[in-house]
Each structure stands twice: as C-alpha cells, then as structure tokens.
C-alpha cells in the first residue's frame, strides 16, 4: 500500500523534477529577510518588481529555530501545481470543478498513526511560547508581527453537525495568543464562531500547517460552490482519490489533519478582540494579495493556544508571501472552478475555459474564453460575464475573448483588446456592487458616486469577442502546420 499524500511525499516528487525545488543551508532571518530573498527567486504575482516565477524553496537554517525548516512557494507556479496534481495546468479549473462534484470524505486515524502528534507541547508546560516553537516569518519590516499565512483552520458548529476549513491571516501576538482576521461574510468558520458567541462559549479549532497542496488549494473554495455544510477537505480527497486523514486533538475537542507538519490546538474566545498591530503600532498588517500592505485591523479575534503538536524529524513551517503567485494558485484556480460550474449549468458549451491571472491576485479578474457557433450565440458572452460575477462576489473585472485566443498569455489577451474591442460599446460598468475590502480603491473618497461604504466597487466587463456576423473579417493570419518543427532545434 502506498504512503498517503502529504507535504513530504509531494516534496519528494518535486525533487525529481528539474527546476521545481531548491533548498539552501545558508542561514536566513525569518524577520523580513526570508521573504525578501524569495521575492527575487520565485514569488511572482503582484509582488513589487523585480520578482519572477521560480522554484519552491526550503530554508534549512532559520535563525533562532535550529530544529525547524521553512518552505515557501510550493504552489507559486501554475505549471508546478499541474505537476503536483498530475494534471494539465491549463485545465485545473475543470479538475477542481469535477472534484467538488465527486467528494471523498476524510477518515479518522489513531494518534499512533498521526505523524503530526509525534511531539506535543502543552500550554501548561513551563516556558511555553508559540513564538519560540513556530518559525512564522514576517513578510516585511513593517508587519504587525510573525504571521501564519498557510495555516488551514478546522472548525465545527457547536452541535458538531457541520465542519469546515478556511485560511486566514493570523499574527502571533504573545506566548499563547494569536490574532485572527475573519473576513465578514461568506466564511463558514465565521458563521460557526458567531454561533459559539451566542452561547458565550469559546470555539475549539485546529490550525494545520505544512500540508499536501491539494488541501491548501481545495480549502479556498467559497459559497455558492461549496455551501454551508460542505467541508472543502472533501475536495482534497477527490483530487487525490484518497481520504484526508484526521486525528482527535490532545487538548481541545476538535480534529486536526493527521499528516500535517504542525497542528496548533486553540480556542477562539467569545466577544474578545485585540489590536492586530499591538506590538508594533505600524498601522500595517502584512502584504495582501492586491500587492499593497494591508491595514492593521483594530479588532481581530483573540485565539488562545492550548497545545502545539508537530513531527519529530525537523518539522516544516510552510509560509507564503501575500501578493505572490502562490496566492494566485490558491484563490484563482478554485474561482475558475466555481465559474465553470455555474456557466456549464446555465449556458453549456459556451465558455470553454476560464483563467484568473496574477494581475488580479487570483480573485479580482477573470478571463473567459467564449465559443460562438451561430448568430443565436451573440450576446451570450455578456451573460457569461454576469454569471461569473454571480459565482464569485469578490470578482471585479471580467475580460471576454474568442476561443482562438490563449487566455493564459496576457499579450494575446491584450491583443484582443486592441484589435477586437471598441471602448464606447464594449465596456459594461456595474456600479455600487459588493467586492473585496482589501482593494484600496474601494473607498468613498475614491469614488463618492457609487461607493457608499468600504468594500463596494464598480464591476467592469470588457467584451473582446468579435460580433458573430463579422467573424470572417477577424481571422488570424494562418501559418503552415509543421508537425516535426522540433527537429530544427537539434
């Protein structure tokens, strides 16, 4: 029987693929330096230039943490995600869509079969300090503190009838306190937490770090694709065609992911908040996916840590840079799947593919490839755009292109908007809609006509498809097909 998938199994596979993995024994400071180094090597995304797409990177010598390694960028490349999931990278959206529709539910294993619990630190132990156990980096010198950026939070409703997993930004505040930002609306963990608050009870959770990327990517689905009661670990199970393994906590009444590198067992306290940057007072939290430093929240949820468990053999602290290509993979590919799910049901066969590019951080922009077969399909492309905006409320810009355009090549997409597009008739603007609160332009001062409150936005549709009756005037230059062209490179 083969070993179940976990982070270490994936890393072993990557090490067999040239250019996909690099490790270093040069000492690095987790405070700003580690992320600063990876910015040049492989962050990509909307990270401040210069940056590029590069290998996943393991730092084996982390200042202050001799027994821990730090991994960054494992899914900071769409091609690498395709290799990790053994699938064509251009069709990962459809893979995830199919996985949502064919879930494989987790199984529980004994503690003796859970590598994540080989070493146990209890909050009651003398000298317990999460900041000395977790090598959580800061992305910049202005961060509110060390952040857990790749921690999958597992929580359930008070009756244990439903559970869910989500990823949040979480800052280490003191020896046993984490500040967790739960974005208002849409996240099931937040819904469960409000139920516990109504009972005036703390909510038990686990924070799972160092995971098979199938879990990290599957986790980021949102409603309506995965409604309340749907646990996204089912998606990861479908991607691997094997159930995710869970294990009972050692200090809280909740389960953790048994093959994690670290599990933090904790409770979200009811009716308690903390200033996110209480230790720095910089006014900044950490870099977020739009490419800007996020503002520190004056009132994040207080999470009290009860225990930390981890693997015995140099556990791996997994981290990411907020605006990097890694966020694009986590947020963008599930969004593509959500859009495909809706358009396939409403207008089957008309949207051939979807791509959420780095320019939108995986969340703010989608490119839809449209197939028109007859004059009856004219206009269907704009309905597809409306459906995309319905599938994902944080989507801000939709670009529509014909099926002869490579949606993964931004030069090809921009060519479309220069040769098959007229601004006076092909731009549709929908003002006064809800969007993502981390977009800094979404404030009344920026657009007082349509933005009444922070987090509202105008949504824009750019229709770069050729009108069906004019398609014969927009045929791309034809070149001879040469099947054996590669012989000329030998």
- Distance of alpha carbon 135 from alpha carbon 145, whole angstroms: 12
The DSSP letter of residue 378 is T
Superfamily the domain 347-473 falls into: UbiD C-terminal domain-like (3.40.1670.10)
Q: Mind listing the pLDDT tens digit for each residue in 150-202?
A: 999 999 999 999 999 999 999 999 999 999 999 876 568 999 999 999 999 99
The predicted structure's pLDDT at residue 331 = 94
The predicted structure's pLDDT at residue 437 = 80
Q: In the β-sheet with 456-463, what is the strand arrangement from edge to edge? A: 351-355, 365-370, 397-402, 456-463, 427-434
Domain segments of the chain as ranges? 89-319, 347-473
Q: Mind listing the pLDDT tens digit for each residue in 319-360?
A: 999 999 999 999 999 999 999 999 999 999 999 999 999 999
How many Cα neighbours within 13 Å face the side chain of 84?
Answer: 30
CB atoms within 10 A of CB 193: 22
Q: N- to C-terminal Cα distance for the chain?
A: 43
One-character DSSP codes across 50-63: S-----EEEES-BT
The predicted structure's pLDDT at residue 185 = 61
What tokens were used for 35? Answer: 């992320």
Q: Mind listing the pLDDT tens digit for each residue in 57-112?
A: 999 999 999 999 999 999 999 999 999 999 999 999 999 999 999 999 999 999 99
Known catalytic residues are 288
pLDDT(317) > 60: yes
- SS3 for 220? coil
Give the confidence band of 12 by pLDDT, cuts at 50, 70, 90: very high
pLDDT(1) > 70: no
Give the confidence band of 223 by pLDDT, cuts at 50, 70, 90: confident
Q: What is the topology classification, in CATH, of domain 89-319?
A: Pnp Oxidase; Chain A (2.30.110)
């Amino acid at each position: 029987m083969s070993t179940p998938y976990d982070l270490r199994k994936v890393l072993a596979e990557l090490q067999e693929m040239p250019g996909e993995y690099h490790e270093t024994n040069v000492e690095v400071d987790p405070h700003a330096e580690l992320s600063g180094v990876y910015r040049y090597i492989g962050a990509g995304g909307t990270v401040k230039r210069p940056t590029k797409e590069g290998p996943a990177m393991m730092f084996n010598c982390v200042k202050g943490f001799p027994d821990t390694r730090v991994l960054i960028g494992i899914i900071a490349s769409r091609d690498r995600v395709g290799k990790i999931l053994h699938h064509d990278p251009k069709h990962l959206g459809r893979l995830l869509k199919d996985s949502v529709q064919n879930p494989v539910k987790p199984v529980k294993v004994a503690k003796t079969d859970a590598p994540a619990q080989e070493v146990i630190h209890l909050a009651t132990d003398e000298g317990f300090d999460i900041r000395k156990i977790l090598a959580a980096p800061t992305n910049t010198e202005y961060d509110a503190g060390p952040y857990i950026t790749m921690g999958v939070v597992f929580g359930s409703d008070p009756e244990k009838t439903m559970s869910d997993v989500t990823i949040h930004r979480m800052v280490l505040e003191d020896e046993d306190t984490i500040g967790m930002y739960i974005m208002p609306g849409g996240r099931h963990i937040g819904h469960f937490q409000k139920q516990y608050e109504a009972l005036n009870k703390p909510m038990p959770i686990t924070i799972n770090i160092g995971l098979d990327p199938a879990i990290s990517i599957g986790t980021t689905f949102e409603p309506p694709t995965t409604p309340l009661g749907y646990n996204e670990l089912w998606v990861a199970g479908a991607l691997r065609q094997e159930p995710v393994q869970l294990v009972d906590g050692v200090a809280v009444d909740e389960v953790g992911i048994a093959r994690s590198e670290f599990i933090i067992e904790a409770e979200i306290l009811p009716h308690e908040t903390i200033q996110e940057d209480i230790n720095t007072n910089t006014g900044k939290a950490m870099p977020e996916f739009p490419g800007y430093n996020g503002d520190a929240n004056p009132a994040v949820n207080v999470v009290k840590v009860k225990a930390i468990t981890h693997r015995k053999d140099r556990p791996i602290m997994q981290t990411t840079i907020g605006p990097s290509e890694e966020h694009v993979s986590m947020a963008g590919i599930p969004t593509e799947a959500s859009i495909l799910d809706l358009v396939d049901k409403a207008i089957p066969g008309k949207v051939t593919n979807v791509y959420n590019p780095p320019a939108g951080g995986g969340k703010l922009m989608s490119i839809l490839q449209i197939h028109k077969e007859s004059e009856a399909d004219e206009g269907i492309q704009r309905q597809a755009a409306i459906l995309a905006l319905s599938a994902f409320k944080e989507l801000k810009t939709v670009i529509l292109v014909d099926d002869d355009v490579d949606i993964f090549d931004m030069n090809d997409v921009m060519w479309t908007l220069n040769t098959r597009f007229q601004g006076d008739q092909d731009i549709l603007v929908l003002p006064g809609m809800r969007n993502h609160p981390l977009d800094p332009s979404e404030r009344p001062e920026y657009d007082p006509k349509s933005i009444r409150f922070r987090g509202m936005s105008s949504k824009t549709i750019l229709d770069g498809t050729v009108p069906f009756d004019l398609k014969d005037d927009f045929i791309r230059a034809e070149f001879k097909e040469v099947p054996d062209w590669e012989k000329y490179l030998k």
